[in-house]
Structure formats: structure tokens, C-alpha cells
């Protein structure tokens, strides 16, 4: 269970205007933790008792990161938006935190992160982990599976999920579960050098996800497997850069390869309660499939 916050605790929370960083910042503030909320736009950062808003242009903003982290002992580092230069931005953020006197980082990584991960963006997480390991910081890595909200968003307006995932399974996890686990790590002890796989309670196929979406949305949602060539072709109209499309396509291929099928009990061990299932999440978030009902 989450421990009470020591009086001297100050945590710098990146991505505090986002779905995960915002949840973590709110939970910490509710427990009386001093929170530094880091973000590009202070107007989008939540108003929290005892929280201070810190503007950073990006994780690559060395001076801004150093100023924002000054006085904090711990950095909760949500990974930067996908970009070819993301690893370098992470490295600058880490170096800036060290220069500011931070001595601990809790980094949000990705399930199965490795130098040869099928999902290309997962490789960025591995290189970031290696950089942190080589730094003087105490660290904990939270390796999240794909988010359940992301699975729901795979369905297009036509009610079809398309991608080269085959019959592979994914142990998608809820943002709330990751946030609760993160707070338990941030406020607890014994987590130095630990790596936690944060997943949902089961792994399911995209066909099964489509069936659940059908049940909640009240209309037919289907999964259509694609080949790699078909996946690239179906996304060509998006006008996205090649590295982004490759990331999207390989996220499905990582499901097909079995790399995202791992089911862990870490959420339960850290929070003291079961992880939320995909149906539970759909029941709690009808906004995820509101467009499918139209």
C-alpha cells in the first residue's frame, strides 16, 4: 500500500499536463507531497495545493530543466513524445536533474524494452534506461504495456481495427493503475534498481478487444489483420513522417510477436489491489468509444 509522504519529500513531475503525469501529480499532492509540475505550457498544468508550476521548453531545455528540478530530490520522468531525437532529450533531462541535485529518478519505460525490440519506440526506452543506469542516480523503471485507452482508440470511425497484430495478445494497462503504482514507488522504500512490468490482469487479442468494444458501443466493431505492406498503405494518407508510421506499424507487430503478452502482478504487489481489466476500463470510460456510437 502507498506509504505516507515524508515531510521533506519534493518530487518533480514531468508531463504533468498529460494523462499519466497529471494523475501522479494529483495523487502526490493529496498526500501532502511538495510537487514541481513541469510542462511546456503552465496554463495547462493542474492547480494543486502545494504545487509549483515550472515551464520547460522541452526535455532538451537544459537550463529550464535544471531550474525546474532545483530543490527536488526525486524526478518522475514520463518519456518525451516520440521523435527521432527523443533519447538525446532524455539524456539532457537526466543530466540536468543530476546538476540540480536530484538523486533519484522513477522513469516510465515500456514493456520488453530492448535494443532490438520489434516496437521501434521501445528501443528508445532501453537506451534511456542504460543512460540512467550509468548515471549517479538511484532509479526505478516502470515498464508499462500499451495503455487500454490506446487499444480503444485503434478502432476507426468505421468500427474497424486494422493492423499486423495477427492473433497475438497484449496485456494492456490502465493509466490509473500505472499512476497508483508510480505513487507507491515514489513514496515507498526498497525500490532502488527495481524494474516493474506494469500490465493489466490478462492479455487479449485485438479480435477480443473488438468484441468488447462492440458490447459497450452497441455496434459491430471488428479486427482486420493486415500484412506489413497493407499497414503502411492504409496509413499513407495520414501524411505522417516515415519514423512515426514505422512506430505505429511495429506496435502491432510487437503484439503479433508476443512481446507484449507478458502479464505481471506488479500492479497488485505495489498497490494492494487487482489491476483493472479492459472491460472494467471501458465501463469506466465511455468517452473512449463515444464516436463509435454515432
Coil, helix or strand at residue 228? helix
Say what the pTM is: 0.94
- Report the distance separating Cα 147 and Cα 168, nearest Å: 16
- Report the distance separating Cα 75 and Cα 38, nearest Å: 10
pLDDT digit string, tens, across residues 204-247 = 999 999 999 999 999 999 999 999 999 999 999 899 999 999 99
Write down the pLDDT at residue 5: 43
User: What are the grid coordinates assigned to 28, written together?
Assistant: 502526490
pLDDT digit string, tens, across residues 253-278 = 999 999 999 999 999 999 999 999 99
Which region among 1-5, 94-98, 175-179, 237-241 has the lowest average model confidence (pLDDT)?
1-5
pLDDT digit string, tens, across residues 115-152 = 999 999 999 999 999 999 999 999 999 999 999 999 99
In 56-121 the beta strands, taken as DSSP E runs, fall at 74-78, 104-110
* pLDDT band with cut points at 50, 70 and 90 for residue 3: very low
Cα atoms found within 13 Å of the Cα of residue 1, Cβ hemisphere only = 1
Q: Is the pLDDT of residue 81 over 60?
A: yes
- DSSP conformation letters of 91-103: HHHHHHHHHTT--
- Report the distance separating Cα 268 and Cα 64, nearest Å: 36
* Cβ atoms 219, 54 nearer than 8 A: no
* Cβ atoms 174, 145 nearer than 8 A: no
User: What are the grid coordinates assigned to 68, written together?
Assistant: 525546474
List of domains in the chain: 10-144+175-198+263-275 (3.40.50.720)
Average pLDDT over the chain, rounded to whole? Answer: 94
Q: Is the pLDDT of residue 7 over 70?
A: no
Write down the pLDDT at residue 50: 80
- Report the distance separating Cα 69 and Cα 56, nearest Å: 10
* Edge-to-edge strands, sheet with 10-13: 51-55, 34-39, 10-13, 74-78, 104-110, 138-144, 194-198
* pLDDT band with cut points at 50, 70 and 90 for residue 8: low
Amino acid at each position: 500500500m502507498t506509504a505516507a509522504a515524508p515531510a521533506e519529500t519534493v518530487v518533480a513531475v514531468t508531463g504533468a499536463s498529460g494523462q499519466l503525469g497529471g494523475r501522479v501529480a494529483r495523487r502526490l499532492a493529496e498526500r501532502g507531497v511538495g510537487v514541481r509540475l513541469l510542462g511546456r505550457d503552465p496554463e495547462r498544468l493542474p492547480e494543486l495545493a502545494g504545487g509549483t508550476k515550472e515551464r520547460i521548453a522541452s526535455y532538451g531545455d537544459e537550463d529550464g530543466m535544471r531550474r525546474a528540478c532545483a530543490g527536488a530530490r526525486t524526478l518522475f520522468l514520463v518519456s518525451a513524445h516520440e521523435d527521432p531525437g527523443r533519447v538525446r532529450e532524455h539524456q539532457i533531462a537526466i543530466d540536468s536533474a543530476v546538476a540540480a541535485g536530484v538523486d533519484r529518478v522513477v522513469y516510465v519505460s515500456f514493456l520488453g524494452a530492448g535494443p532490438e525490440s520489434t516496437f521501434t519506440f521501445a528501443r528508445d526506452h532501453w537506451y534511456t534506461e542504460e543512460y540512467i543506469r550509468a548515471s549517479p542516480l538511484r532509479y526505478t523503471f516502470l515498464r508499462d504495456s500499451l495503455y487500454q485507452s490506446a487499444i480503444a482508440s485503434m478502432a476507426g470511425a468505421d468500427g474497424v481495427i486494422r493492423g499486423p497484430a495477427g492473433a497475438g495478445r497484449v496485456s494492456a494497462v490502465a493509466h490509473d493503475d500505472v499512476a497508483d503504482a508510480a505513487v507507491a514507488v515514489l513514496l515507498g522504500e526498497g525500490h532502488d534498481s527495481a524494474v516493474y512490468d506494469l500490465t493489466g490482469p490478462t492479455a487479449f487479442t485485438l479480435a477480443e478487444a473488438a468484441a468488447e468494444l462492440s458490447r459497450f458501443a452497441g455496434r459491430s466493431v471488428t479486427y482486420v489483420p493486415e500484412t506489413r505492406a497493407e499497414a503502411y498503405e492504409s496509413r499513407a494518407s495520414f501524411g505522417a513522417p516515415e519514423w512515426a508510421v514505422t512506430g505505429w506499424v511495429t506496435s502491432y507487430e510487437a503484439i503479433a510477436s508476443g512481446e507484449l503478452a507478458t502479464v505481471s502482478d506488479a500492479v497488485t504487489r505495489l498497490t494492494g489491489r487487482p489491476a483493472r481489466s479492459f472491460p472494467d476500463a471501458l465501463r469506466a470510460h465511455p468517452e473512449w468509444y463515444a464516436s463509435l456510437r454515432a
